[in-house]
Amino acid sequence: MIISVIIPTFQRNDLLAQCLDRLAPGQQPGLGVLQPGQAESPEPAEPFAYEVIVTDDGVSTTAETMIRQQYPWARWMAGGQPEPRSRPGPRPVAGVHR
């Protein structure tokens, strides 16, 4: 099973970094993190895998650069709205909604 963790943020790199540090690969026993573009669990022995998607609706955001440099296992999705939103837009996620 794949779990999608979607993190909407609005120009709060300090809190975003704390959140991503806790979601980093190896920080959650029994969970394997999916790399961007990966569609299946990274380790067959792990019952759950998760992907992390971050979106920031700020006009001048530095979150994308921070994610690409420090958290390459997380996926960045540009916002585009003038205020934060709770969904990253129409692009599909790997997790299954039940």
28: number of CA atoms within 13 Å, CB side?
Answer: 19
Using alpha carbons only, give the angle 77, 63, 92 rounded to the nearest 5 degrees. Answer: 15
Q: Which residues contact 44 (CB under 8 A, 6 or more apart)?
A: none
pLDDT at 77 over 80: yes
Which whole number is the average pLDDT over 70-77? 91
| Burial class of residue 11 (count of CB atoms within 10 Å of its CB; 0-12, 13-18, 19+) | middle
Q: What angle do CA 83, 88, 92 make, to 5 degrees?
A: 165
Amino acid at position 15, single letter:
L
- Give the chain's mean pLDDT: 74
17-60: pLDDT as tens digits: 999 998 888 766 656 666 666 655 555 445 667 889 998 877 77
Report CA 6 to chain centroid distance, whole Å. 5
Residue 77 identity: M
Would you say residue 78 has pLDDT above 60?
yes
